[in-house]
């Protein structure tokens, strides 16, 4: 059985996650949820995570305020390490 990986960080992505997670759960597949917190603020992200009853995240990171390119590079570097294992 393959593990489903969900990667999110912005509010629009967070709002879309529940539909995918529900589909994965119905198929009884394992799920790894990564949240990178580009919009990490209670009103911008956490209230949606709680309100949409998302599963507990497996990996949560707060990407500090950097340029968009630096944020993207840091996320890609982390995911490269995770996926290489």
70: domain CATH number is: 3.40.50.2000
Tens of pLDDT, residue by residue over 45-64, are: 778 778 888 888 888 777 66
Kindly report the pTM of this predicted structure: 0.73
Domain count, the chain: 1
Tens of pLDDT, residue by residue over 11-31, are: 888 888 888 888 888 888 898
Copy the structure tokens of residue 63. Answer: 């990407």
Q: Is residue 34 part of a domain?
A: yes
Angle (CA) 60 56 82, round 5°:
45
Question: How many whole angstroms separate alpha carbon 13 and alpha carbon 39?
Answer: 10
Print the domain residue range for 26.
4-75
User: How many CB atoms are closer than 10 A to CB 83?
Assistant: 8
């Amino acid at each position: 059985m393959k593990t489903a990986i969900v990667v999110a960080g912005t509010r629009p992505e967070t709002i879309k996650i529940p539909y995918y997670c529900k589909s994965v759960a119905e198929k009884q597949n394992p799920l790894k949820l990564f949240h990178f917190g580009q919009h990490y603020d209670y009103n911008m992200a956490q209230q949606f995570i709680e309100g949409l009853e998302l599963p507990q995240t497996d990996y949560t990171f707060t990407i500090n305020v950097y340029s968009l390119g630096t944020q993207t590079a840091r996320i890609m570097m982390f995911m490269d390490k995770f996926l290489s294992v």
